[in-house]
Amino acid sequence: MPAVSILIKPASSACNLQCKYCFYRDVANHREKSYEGMLSLEMMETVIASAMEYAEGSCSFAFQGGEPTLAGLDFYQRVVKLEERYRRPGVEIHNAIQTNGICVDKAWAEFFAKHHFLVGLSLDGPAELHDRNRTFPDGKGSWSRVMRSVQILEKFHVDYNILCVVTGKNARSIQKIYQFFKKQRFQWLQFIPCLEPLDQQRGLEPYHLSAEEYGDFLIQIFDLWFQDLKKGHYVSVRHIDNWVSMLMGNPPEACNMSGRCSIQFVIEGDGGVYPCDFYVLDEWRLGTVGKQPLEEMERSEVARRFVEQSHRVPQRCKECPVCPICRNGCRRDREVLEGGEIDLNYYCQAYFSFFTQRKRELYQAVQLILNRQRNL
Ligand code: SF4
Ligand code: SF4
Ligand code: SF4
């Protein structure tokens, strides 16, 4: 039995924001039923019981959306009680939540701190960048409200990290964003390239991120991070941490950097289980919690087909010197050929230019981090 990690969407695709680049709204709109309803406590109990039965060593629950706080604080209070009820000796339970921060108040922050929830907060830098895309349904920006949540989380000593979406504009403004994050003393950062709608040609959306922009972004964020590292100031940037760790001989912890898909157990509001947050689509439904054991879903024909599609290595990658670390990126960014075959990553040029231009510095960073770890 493995360590189990479950992603739960307790509020399905419902959200109190209407971000322009919201990939989940698009994914949900590609299903027969875009809103699957709020996850019931009965279903949540079944999720916890099934996960605990399957897990060995550790069992992680990551709540996300839509906006997962819309399920209400009561829901989570019941969740932690259920986790206690089903806890098995030798299995550690971890909870995390990815939120837009709009609902976060004193009561939420106290709860997160008390139950050691790791909070991921979505924030795209200073107001003028964040408010371009992260808006309320009336079009107003959400930056001021999110910054209020930052203060509340700080006040209650909640562990949190920042998730910033990389659009074309954000990529071009990375100096400004990084300086802003530094000024706020954020220590844990994640930068995720925006996703464009499924089945739509790239480049039509105003937030489009080109391969060239992403390549420049990767170099600039690395340089900013590396300058700080050399001064003895370590900031965690998830994708860079993964590359450094891979160069030390470890497997990446981020699925999108491992070169192939894995089954992640994403649970929708009706208990439906899917293999990846990016593919919560009818064709990839693995089953329903409580109807089939997770183990059976992981071994199902649909799961096998999903993983297998990511195994193809294009000829360009086979011959590419940076393939051991690049691995053709996340499958969601790979181009789909006529006939459905999955090919080269859309950001190939970005990865190639980053790894070839910053190879020496990456190894220097590995050395600095190893020295740092030795001195801790
Ligand atoms: S907060 Fe997240 S789920 Fe809500 S609209 Fe924005 S990107 Fe989508
Ligand atoms: S699409 Fe990307 S994130 Fe999803 S399972 Fe595949 S590699 Fe992982
Ligand atoms: S840089 Fe391009 S060719 Fe090389 S491994 Fe990455 S995606 Fe493949």
Q: Which residues contact 20 (CB under 8 A, 6 or more apart)?
A: 132, 133, 135, 205, 206, 207
CB 255 less than 6 A from any atom of ligand 2: yes
Distance 188 CA to ligand 3 centre (A): 27
Average of pLDDT values for 216-226?
A: 98
Ligand nearest to the CA of 314: 3
Give the strands of the sheet with 272-274, arranged side by side: 236-237, 188-193, 160-166, 118-122, 92-99, 58-63, 4-8, 266-267, 272-274, 287-288
What DSSP element (H or E) covers 150? helix 143-155
Q: How far apart are CA 318 and CA 108, in angstroms?
A: 49
Distance 15 CA to ligand 1 centre (A): 6
**Residue with token string 């994050």:** 181
- The pLDDT assigned to 162 comes to 98
Of the candidates 122, 106, 191, which has an alpha carbon nearest to the alpha carbon of residue 157? 106
Of the candidates 224, 323, 228, 306, which has an alpha carbon nearest to the alpha carbon of residue 265? 306
Q: Which of 124, 241, 277, 333 is catalytic?
A: 277
The class that CATH gives domain 4-371 is alpha beta
CB 284 less than 6 A from any atom of ligand 2: no
Q: What is the pLDDT of residues 297-341, one digit of tens each?
A: 999 999 999 999 999 999 999 999 999 999 999 999 999 888 888
Q: What is the pLDDT of residues 254-287, one digit of tens each?
A: 999 999 999 999 999 999 999 999 999 999 999 9
The token pair that represents 180 in the structure block: 């802003």
Give the ligand 2 atom nearest the CA of 263: 5
- The pLDDT assigned to 337 comes to 84
Q: How far apart are CA 216 and CA 94, in angstroms?
A: 36
- Percentage of the chain lying above the pLDDT 90 cut: 95
Ligand nearest to the CA of 99: 1
Distance 250 CA to ligand 3 centre (A): 20
- The pLDDT assigned to 289 comes to 95
Q: What is the pLDDT of residues 135-187, one digit of tens each?
A: 999 999 999 999 999 999 999 999 999 999 999 999 999 999 999 999 999 99
* Closest residue by CA, ligand 3 atom 1: 352
Ligand nearest to the CA of 22: 1
Average of pLDDT values for 46-54?
A: 93
Catalytic residue flag (residue 277): yes
Ligand nearest to the CA of 318: 3
Distance 324 CA to ligand 3 centre (A): 9
Give the ligand 1 atom nearest the CA of 65: 3
* Closest residue by CA, ligand 1 atom 1: 100
Mark out the alpha helices in 173-282 (DSSP H runs): 174-183, 211-230, 238-247
Average of pLDDT values for 240-264?
A: 97
Average of pLDDT values for 66-76?
A: 98
* 32-61 exposure pattern, b = at least 16 Cβ within 10 A, e = fewer: eeebbebbeeebbbbbbebbbebbeeebbb
Task: Name 287's bridge partners.
Answer: 273
Of the candidates 319, 322, 311, which has an alpha carbon nearest to the alpha carbon of residue 347? 322
- Give residues (CB < 6 A) around ligand 1: 15, 17-19, 22, 24-25, 65-67, 100, 122
Distance 311 CA to ligand 3 centre (A): 14
The token pair that represents 348 in the structure block: 């190939």
CB 261 less than 6 A from any atom of ligand 2: yes
What DSSP element (H or E) covers 168? helix 168-172
Asked if 59 contacts 51 with a C-beta cutoff of 8 angstroms, the reply is yes
Distance 220 CA to ligand 3 centre (A): 20
Does residue 1 carry a pLDDT above 70?
no
Domain residue ranges in the chain: 4-371
* Closest residue by CA, ligand 3 atom 2: 348
Give the ligand 3 atom nearest the CA of 345: 7
Give the ligand 2 atom nearest the CA of 276: 4
pTM above 0.85, yes or no: yes
